Each structure stands twice: as C-alpha cells, then as structure tokens.
Amino acid sequence: MDQTTEPQSEELALSQKLKDTILSPMKQTFVGKDEIIDLLGICLVARENLFLLGPPGTAKSALVQDLSRRIEGNIFDYLLTRFTEPNEIFGPFDIRKLREGELITNTEGMLPEATFVFLDELLNANSAILNSLLMVLNERIFRRGRETRALPTLMVVGASNHLPEDSALSALFDRFLVRVRCDNVEPDQLSQVLTAGWKMDVKREQTQGTMSIDEIRSLQNSLAQANFSQVQSDYVALIHRMRKAGIDVSDRRAVKLQRLLAASAILSGRLKVNRTDFWILRSIWHTEEQIEILASLVNDAIDQADETEKQSGHPRSRSADVPDPELLVRDIEQLEQRCDDESLTEIERAQLQDQVTLLASRCQWVESDQQKTFLTEKIDKLRERLHSLSD
C-alpha cells in the first residue's frame, strides 16, 4: 500500500467530520449566516484570523462562542474600548512573583490561555495593547517585557461596525486575512431567526463538543501536504490582476493566502488545490468598494476551471453570485468622487479605468432590466469622464 494513502484519508476524514458535526449544525442554528460559517471553517483549518464588519446584535459573538463549545475549546471574549488596558486582555502581573522581583503575568482565564479569541469593537484598540495584539495575531506569541510564550490559539475573530481610519489600526486590520459583512437577516428570514434563536437559548448548555483540539490541530497540520502545482500560474495571474485593479496584495499576503486556498481544498476532500478554491479570495477586500471588484476578478478565474475541478470544488465556489445593485451604485459613486481628484496620476487613472470595466461586467448580471439600464448609464457617463481626464 502507498504510504501516503492512509494519512491522507485520515486527514480528509477529519475535514468531513468538521463539516458534518460542526459547520452543518451551526448553519441550522444560525439562520442566514452560511457564508460566515463557511469562512469560520476555512480560517479554523488555516489557523488564520477573521474580521466581521457589521452592527451590534447580528450574532457575531454567538457564532464564535458556539464554535468554541462544539470543539471543546476555551474562549476569551472581550469588548474593547479606547481605555482598555493590557491587564484586561492578557491578565495582571502575578503579585507573588512581583514580590520576588519577577514580572510574570497571571494569565488564568485570559487571552493567552484561550483556544478561541473574539475581540468585539476591535478597532478601538489603543497603543498600549496594539503591539501585543499584533504579535498574537501574526505569530501566536505573547510577549510582555522579558516574558515570551507560545499561545494555544486556534483562531482570532475580530469585529467592528466600521473600518480603520488611521495607519496604526490599518496594521491591526491587515492581520485579518479574511473579511466578511455580518448584517441583520433579510425580512423574510426573521421568523426563522426567532425560532432558531429561542431553541439556541433553551439548549445552549446542551451543546456538546464533537471534535477535540488535537483533531483540529491535526487538520491544521495537513495544510503542509497541499499541492499547488495545478494552480500556481493561475494564482500568480490573479494576484497581478488584483494589483492592477488597485487592490493591494503584498507579497507577504500573497504567500499567506495560500493557506486559505489549501484549507478550501481540504474541506472539499482534496489535497490538490484547484481553481475553484479561489472563491475564498472574494473575502480579502480592504474597503467595501472592493467587494464587487474582487467578486468579478475571482469569478472570472473560477470560470476557467474545468468540469472535473468544479465537481470537486468547495460549495461556496458554486453559489449563485447575483450582484447587489445598491452596492454597485455605491461603488460607481465612489469612483465618480475619485475622478474629481485633480492630483490623480496616470497609473491611478489606469486603475480607475480597470475598476470601471470590472463594475460594468458585474452590472450585466443584475436581474432587473430597469436597474441594469440605470447602472449602465452611470457607467457610460463615468467612462466619458475618465476619457476626458486622459485627453
């Protein structure tokens, strides 16, 4: 027997267990949150961080708490304010050790001992805790003075109702590879939410862990076996297209994003990454105006996949992706505002033209003919403005 066959089947069996016993039951509990739950699964396997953008009361904390209970993990859940001190996150200094002249942190029940971390209003983080948080997010290391320790953290989820506005917080936001909106459900789903929410409140304490921490770590370790040979050239081409469209993907991020692609393959029952795994790259936006642009670029790349790839692809890659007309209007108006900037360089104007072309292709998928006509007219006017700028 091939020596690689047994380990592969064992690891892929764990991925199936994660889907069947954790992700699928969560989707039944949290109505309208399927995409977020799929992304939680990807980030868990990839050991990467997830950022949720949305208002309070949309189940952001509840999702992470439920995931933690199902994996028998310890969760550290905290609401950050501008006045949050390091002691509130990492724990106070151990008084007994302090009397002996040692600065040792008492981390019992605090972030350094958690397997799951949820930081609400993440972007309220102040400079006092910022550097320590960056090390936690990037390296899974806690450092305070001479004290350094590796953390057991499987995943960090951050949430906010706004995006970063200054450079210091942008560095923090950058540590979250995956970003997704978490909004209130559609009106026709509210009745389902009420029913599911009541059941969850009643049965909250009955949720039993169905996977162990060791099983999750084994699943994370299987990333090393992922094979990128089939998609490397396509992935490089897609990163170049993103950069050309004005979406910043640094070399460091391009390397780390491969972990997400590998996680998608593993959760699809494969160790060979294919083009359908690019779906996860729809969720690496920096600003909301990039959401539709990224969707267009990524969907074009997925369309190049052959039938064999599509049949074994992650279900999220095959999901219907009808663009939101309101988001398209907002994105077009934001590009119109950028056209008013007289300091635009030739490169920036070229990027604007590429973004307009991508939005135009997305507009053709709008279902309503009236909305499609309205959007097309706005795109045509925007193209005329850009053409006049280049004359």
DSSP result, 81-144: -TT--HHHHH--B-HHHHHTT---B--TTSGGG-SEEEEETGGG--HHHHHHHHHHHHHSEEEE
Mean pLDDT of the 342-366 span = 80
For residues 42 and 49, give the distance between their C-alpha atoms in angstroms, rounded to a whole number.
Answer: 10
Which CA distances in Å does 304 have to 276, 282, 284, 297, 310?
A: 9, 16, 20, 12, 10
pLDDT at 3 over 70: no
Cβ count near 6 (within 10 Å): 10
User: Cα(first)–Cα(last) distance of the chain, in Å?
Assistant: 68
pLDDT of residue 238: 97
What tokens does 35 get? 């995409």
Query: Would you place residue 4 in the very low, low, confident or very high pLDDT band (cuts 50, 70, 90)?
Result: very low
pLDDT of residue 208: 64
Mean pLDDT of the 378-387 span = 86
Q: What is the pTM of this model?
A: 0.80
Cβ count near 290 (within 10 Å): 20
More confident position, 262 or 337: 262
pLDDT of residue 5: 37
The amino acid present at 7, given as its one-letter code, is P
Query: Would you place residue 48 in the very low, low, confident or very high pLDDT band (cuts 50, 70, 90)?
Result: very high
- Residue 17: strand, helix, or coil: helix
- Residue (of 366, 372, 331, 371) closest to 352 by Cα position: 331
pLDDT at 154 over 90: yes
pLDDT of residue 206: 57
Query: Would you place residue 97 in the very low, low, confident or very high pLDDT band (cuts 50, 70, 90)?
Result: low
> What is the percent of the chain where pLDDT is above 70?
90
Query: Would you place residue 6 in the very low, low, confident or very high pLDDT band (cuts 50, 70, 90)?
Result: very low
pLDDT of residue 103: 74
Interval 356-370: pLDDT, tens: 887 887 787 776 778
pLDDT of residue 346: 81
pLDDT at 391 over 80: no
DSSP result, 322-383: ---HHHHHHHHHHHHHHHT-TT--HHHHHHHHHHHHHHHHHHTT-S-HHHHHHHHHHHHHHH
pLDDT at 207 over 90: no
pLDDT at 71 over 60: yes
Query: What's the mean pLDDT when you consider all of the chain?
Result: 87
Q: Which residues contact 309 (CB under 8 A, 6 or more apart)?
A: 274, 275, 276
pLDDT of residue 105: 85
Torsion, Cα 291 293 296 297, to 10 degrees, reads -110
Query: Would you place residue 339 in the very low, low, confident or very high pLDDT band (cuts 50, 70, 90)?
Result: confident
CB 137 within 8 A of CB 27: no
For residues 301 and 295, give the distance between their C-alpha atoms in angstroms, rounded to a whole number.
Answer: 10
